[in-house]
Chain A
Amino acid sequence: MTNQPLLVTDGLEKSFGGVVAARDISISVHAGETVAIIGANGAGKTTFVNMVTGYLTPSAGSISFRGRDITGLSPRQTARAGVRRSFQIAQIFPKLTALENIIIAEIAAEKESVGLTTPSLVRSRVEAGMALLARFGLESMAQRRTGTLPQGVRKQLDIAMAAVSNPEMILLDEPTSGVSADEKISMMDSVIAPLKSEKATVLFIEHDMDIVRRFADRVIAFYEGTILIDDGVDVVLNDAKVREFVIGGVYA
């Protein structure tokens, strides 16, 4: 593990009018880590992800990525800086095929050029797109229109799009929500392995503690907008407060 952390947030705060959605969120994530974010609904998990990826501007505090201050950058600038995300409800282009979705992601990720001179379906992009789909086990879906695909597949594609151009950090917002219980683990396997094979640092929001135990190196538990505890998986999942406020006795 290198000395300098990849992502550092310092005293992040977000309030909407009088409601404080997140307060004093200070974390640091090192390259290569897989960190789970847990917490009940409304604990501030998605607010945190939205701040890091530029959708929300923090009311206070700062975010730095690779030593560069990215506080207040737009989603586009944050994406260009190397922080990508997926969504709780898959955000894809439903009228296009899976391959076309990936190709749009490739075009969008390329250098800030207008892109008038290169054909969209240039061979290098198609080949890279097919290789990426294969990495995520989606190659059979390449020519399928994505709006008609099952929810789980759409979520895998959403994550695959975020993984185009191999960003250093990916935030997954509830990657297994909407996926049936017996498919959650295989779903996570199919996305975490390809992300890890490219050495991405992964933060994921998750409600299923089996998934957290299996895939995370470290867990951050949110409670009412603040960090309750930030430690190793076993420490966090056995913590009395976490068991009371976050897991709520559901997890025996």
Chain B
Amino acid sequence: MTIDFTKDWRNVALLAVLLAAAFFLPSWLRFLLQTALAGGLVALGVMIQMRAGLVSFGQGLYYCIGGYAVGLLAAKAGVAEATLVIAAAVISSVVIALILGPLLSRYREIFFAMLTLAVSMILYGLLVKAATLGSTDGFNVPPVTFFGFLPAQEARGDWTYVLTALLVVVACFLIARYLASGAGALLEAVAENELRLEYLGSSARQAVYIVYVIAAAVSGLGGALAAIATGHVDPEMANWTTSGGFVFVALLAGRGSAIAPVLGFFLLELVRTYALDIAPNAWQLILGAVMLAVILLLPDGLWSLVRRAPK
């Protein structure tokens, strides 16, 4: 591990180029990429907490809050302006994280994992019971407008892809800046020797609180973009199986770069898609085998391949 993220902006720049080129992919594949980017932001939220040694098994909470914020505004309140609904998604995630943070930042290891999971399952339970919000079915989200302009049906995919790609690049850039900052460096210290950090005059709890809130913001953005991409939200977004998927991606992708979880999520979606195609009844077997292979052969995740590559 290292605290040196000073050059990670280059990886983000590379991501920007890749996403620009991906505009010309076949539409099914580009849509797969778009939803993977949204989910990848949540995995990124999980990853930055992992840098502090904390595994959030309830990051779906903010994925769901972000998605429902967009859905409620667009479908129930009639506010479909993209900038507004996305801002609302991020702000509501941050507000909830600011409230929960002081409690959660006191816990570590399995206790942190279980508490994050418990909180997300509370939201899941509430949404499943909420008949007006479609219970387990959720509800559909009308298309968003861009400064009052509603693109034609066949162009909507282009618009939302560009929106997603832009915001994902900006989010990755900001997270890379955070990881390269003093506050980002302290995460590694929290993971390795919290007591020493306290004796050096710094608060481990403050460092955890900050990463928790930042992770919530980026995950809420991911949820918002997912709702916009798929035009649908349901309580499954907050379910623990969804959160577990984000943890898996974060583990698989590695912690070496802000873009690792985002790319990792897309790779996983590709494997899933092709596995489903090849073996409709045993695709989970293929997915499981891939995960096992990565964990056994690359304990620091796929990104360690990039780190090891000759410069």
Contact = CB atoms under 8 A, between A and B. Distances in A.
A180 B170 CA distance: 54
Chain B interface: which size bin? 20 to 34
Interface stretch (B82-90, B185-193, B275-283): B185-193
A120 B189 CA distance: 12
B198 interface: yes
Interface in A88-145: 91-97, 100, 103-105, 107-110, 114-121
Given A75-B198, A76-B201, A95-B188, 13 more contacts: A74-B198, A76-B202, A93-B188, A107-B185, A108-B189, A109-B202, A114-B183, A115-B183, A116-B210, A117-B181, A120-B185, A121-B4, A161-B200
A85 B199 contact: yes
Given A104-B3, A121-B6, A93 B196 contact: yes
A80 B188 CA distance: 21
Interface of A: 53, 74-76, 79-80, 84-85, 91-97, 100, 103-105, 107-110, 114-121, 161-162, 164
Nearest to A90: B196
- Name, among B4, B201, B202, the residue most crowded by chain A CB atoms within 10 Å (CB to CB): B201
5 contacts: A74-B198, A96-B2, A116-B210, A120-B3, A164-B200
- Name, among B184, B196, B206, B210, the residue most crowded by chain A CB atoms within 10 Å (CB to CB): B196
Contact of B197 (A85, A108, A164): A108
Nearest to B6: A121
A94 B192 contact: yes
A107 B192 contact: no
A114 B205 CA distance: 12
Contacts of A110: 182
Interface in B169-225: 178, 180-186, 188-189, 192-193, 195-203, 206, 210
B1 interface: yes
Contact of B192 (A53, A74, A95, A117): A95
Contact of B182 (A75, A97, A120): A120
B195 A91 contact: yes
- Name, among B3, B184, B193, B200, the residue most crowded by chain A CB atoms within 10 Å (CB to CB): B200
Nearest to B186: A107
A93 B3 CA distance: 11
Given A115-B181, A115-B182, A93 B201 contact: no
A109 B201 CA distance: 5
A114 B3 contact: no
B188 to A, nearest CB: 6
Nearest to B5: A120
B199 A91 contact: yes
Nearest to A110: B182
A94 B198 CA distance: 16
Nearest to B210: A114
Contact of B193 (A91, A115, A117, A120): A91
A145 B210 CA distance: 27
Given A95-B1, A96-B1, A96-B192, A103 B185 contact: yes
Given A76-B198, A91-B195, A119-B6, A104 B189 contact: yes
Contacts of B4: 100, 121
Given A79-B199, A84-B199, A104-B197, A116 B188 contact: no
Contact of B200 (A74, A105, A119): A105
Contacts of B185: 100, 103-104, 107, 120
